[in-house]
């Protein structure tokens, strides 16, 4: 059973782990689309409770709360948190779109065959509701990708990541003297 999105943003400020732990910041990869959104901790566990798309109202509320979280991370200079939030918003768009396109929200059967799509005769409330939920998330996702502070954070993070990769893994220095 999934929890519906909270009606308001979190009362306590969310942690910004990547600001305090360079191993988190350096291990993060942007990837393609939503890559890593459900596996990159601790951000996954921090953001996931606010993501939902079951109805239009829940999707709208979830997108608004996620936008607030996105802004929070941007304001604090936490690119990883901002990008993970962007990925959750994008996932809201794609998952609700999948439910709008495929009965039951599944694209593939267990045997790998593509499941049937809705037909024009199936223009039910569920299909149109999921289309609207997808549209809501898409608007917020576009806001994220156009956000100037997010773009600056992404560019800074990318430059830092390249510098770390050029240096290679750090090897601890050998001791100057050996005491026996």
pLDDT at 121: 63
Q: How confident is the model at residue 167 (pLDDT cuts 50, 70, 90)?
A: confident
Report whether the peptide linkage leading into residue 25 is cis, meaning its omega lies within 30 degrees of zero: no
Whose CA is closest to 99, among 91, 107, 90? 107
**pTM for this predicted structure:** 0.79
Assess contact for 40 and 86: CB atoms under 8 A.
no
pLDDT score recorded for residue 122: 61
Report, as an integer, the average pLDDT of 48-54: 92
List beta partners, residue 117: 102
What's the pLDDT at 31? Answer: 82
Give dist(CA 113, CA 131) in Å, integer: 24
Of the listed ranges 77-81, 90-94, 97-101, 123-127, the least confidently predicted one is 123-127
Quick one: DSSP state of residue 90? H
At a CB cut-off of 8 Å and minimum separation 6, what does 67 contact? 89, 140, 143, 144
pLDDT of residue 70: 97
DSSP H helices, 124-168, are 125-146, 148-167
pLDDT at 4: 47
Q: Is the pLDDT of residue 90 over 90?
A: yes
Q: Is residue 73's pLDDT more than 50?
A: yes
């Amino acid at each position: 059973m999934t929890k519906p999105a909270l009606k308001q943003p979190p009362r306590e400020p969310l942690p910004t782990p990547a600001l305090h732990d360079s191993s988190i910041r350096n291990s993060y990869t942007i990837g393609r689309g939503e890559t890593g959104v459900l596996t990159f901790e601790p951000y996954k566990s921090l953001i996931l409770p606010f993501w939902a798309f079951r109805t239009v109202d829940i999707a709208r509320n979830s997108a608004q709360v996620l936008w607030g979280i996105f802004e929070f991370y941007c304001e604090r200079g936490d690119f990883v948190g901002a990008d993970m939030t962007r990925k959750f918003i994008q996932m809201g768009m794609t998952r609700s779109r999948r439910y709008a396109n495929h009965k039951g929200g599944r694209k593939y059967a267990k045997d790998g065959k593509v499941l049937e799509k809705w037909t024009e005769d199936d223009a039910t409330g569920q299909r149109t509701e999921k289309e609207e939920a997808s549209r809501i998330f898409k608007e917020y996702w576009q806001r994220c990708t156009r956000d100037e502070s997010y773009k600056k954070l992404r560019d800074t993070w990318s430059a830092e990541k390249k510098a770390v990769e050029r240096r290679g893994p750090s090897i601890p220095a050998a001791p100057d003297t050996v005491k026996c």
